[in-house]
Chain A
C-alpha cells in the first residue's frame, strides 16, 4: 500500500479558513510545511485498508502470554466517550470535575479490596512506571530510616522491565535462578539476601504461569532482613477474588489495568498502571492525592514525603473509566474471571502437552510455557509464523528467557471451549507438520506479506518518509 504522504488532493475542510498575516519575524517561522493534503474519502479508505492488515482480539484468539488479551467490552468504549468524561479539561476546577474524581476514587477503593492493600495510586501510565515508582519509594523509605540498601533481588524468569527499572534508579540487580519446579529458588534467595537488599521483586504467578510455591518462606526471610517485598502484578488475572497479594506478604504491588481489567491494548497502548501499598508506605505515593470530605472530592498536593509525580496530569483517565466498567460488570463475582482463566489455560495445556516439551510439569495458573526444543526441523519462530496461516495469533515466543524455544500461552477466560479446541488442533498439527513436511512450516507464513526481513531493517534503518 502507498504511504499517506504519496497523496496530493483537494483536502476536505474541517475548520474555518483564515486569512491573517502573522506578526512574526522570519527567523521564528518555518519556510514550508511538507505535509500531504488528502480528501476525506481517501483518508477513510487508506486507514480502513490498513486496519484490514492488522490482527486484533476482535479477529480471533490472541493468546500472548503475559499480556492478557481478553475480550474488551464494547460498552466500555461507549462510556469512556460520554461527553462528561471525554471533553473535560484537566484544569477544570475540582467542583466541576467531581464525576471524574469519583471514578478515580471508586476505582482506587475497588483495587484496595482486590489486592488487600491499604492505599493505591492510579497515576502511572503503565506497569513499568509503577515499578520505577515502587523502587523510588523503597529508596526513599530506606533513606528515611538511614539504611543504605542498594540491591534488588529478581528471579531470572522476570519481565525485562524489572531489572531495567532497577537500573534506572541506579540500584543493582541480583538475579536468582529458578528451581526445578519453576519457583524462585529459595536456597539461592537465602544465599543472596543481605542487609543491603532493598527489595525482592516477584511476579506471582510467575512468567512460567506457575504460582510461586516458596513465596511465604521468601517473604519471611525478606522481612526478617528488613527487605520489602514487591509484586509485579502483571499476572493478576489468575488471582482475582482467589488470593490477595497483601496476604501473600507483599508490601507493594502493581496492577496493569489494561491487562487484568480488559481495556483495549490499542496496538501497543495506551495502558494504565496502579501501584498499591501497605499503610506504612502510603505517604510516599504520588501527588495529587484524591481526598473525600462530606461527599466532595478534592485534590491534595501537600504530601511532603511523596516521591512526586510521573504523569502530566492525574493518570490515563480514559483507561481508568474502562477499568472501572469491567470491575462494576463483575462486581463481587469477579472471582469467576480468574477461575475461568485458570480453567482455560489448564485445558489448552492438557490438549497440547503431548506434542511439545513441557519444561515444568505442574498444573498451571492462567498461562503456561511449553518448548519447541525437541521438535525436529524447526524452531519456535517457524511455529509462530505457521500459526498465522491458520488464522490465529501466535503466543508470546522466546520468553521467558530461561526456557529454550519457549512458547508462552495465555488464552484468558473469555475464549470458548470451541475456540480453544481449534487452537489446540492447530498447535498439534504444526508439531506434526514439522516432522512430516517441515518446508511448509519453515516457509510460513504463506500470507501477504511473507516473512519479513528484520535483519535488513536493523542494519539499514529506514525509519521515516522524507520529501524528495
Chain B
C-alpha cells in the first residue's frame, strides 16, 4: 500500500503543479485527471465518475485574482485511493472534497509565506540576474514537495479514519452520503447555466 500510495501521490502532486505553478494546460482538471488516476488505481469508470462530479461541483469557482479554488486533483485523488482500498465512492468523495477545500487554505498560506523568502532572493537577482532560473526551479520544487506532502498525509489520514469509522457506519449513514453524492451532478449542471449568463454586452 505504501509504495502505491507514494507513486499515486507523486503523480497527483505533478498534476497539481499544472493548476497554477507550471504550464496551466489544464491536464489537472478533474475530467482529465480523474480517468488518469482512475486507470492508475485500477477502476477507470470510477475515475470518470469522480472526475465529472468534481468538475461539475467546482464549476462556479474560478481562480480570479488571488482566489485559490479547492483543488480538483486532491478532490479526485483521495476518493480514488480510498476506493482502491474498498471504501465506497460516496464516502471517499465527501472526504476528497473536504480535503480539497483544506488544500486551498494551505495553498493560500504558502502563497502568503512565499513572499518572505522571495524578497530575500530578489535582492540576489538584483546583484546577479542569472540567479532567476534557479530561484524559479527552487520555487517549483518547493511547491511540488508541499503538494506531495499534503496529498500523501491527507490520503493516509483519510484511509486511517475510514478504517476506524467504517465498522460503525450504519446503513442509514450509507444512505445519507449516497443521497448527497447523487445530488452532485444536478448541483453542478444547475451551476452551469448562470456560468453562461449573457452579461458581456
A, B: real partners: no
Give A contacts to B, CB under 8 Å.
Answer: none
Give B residues with C-beta under 8 Å from A: none
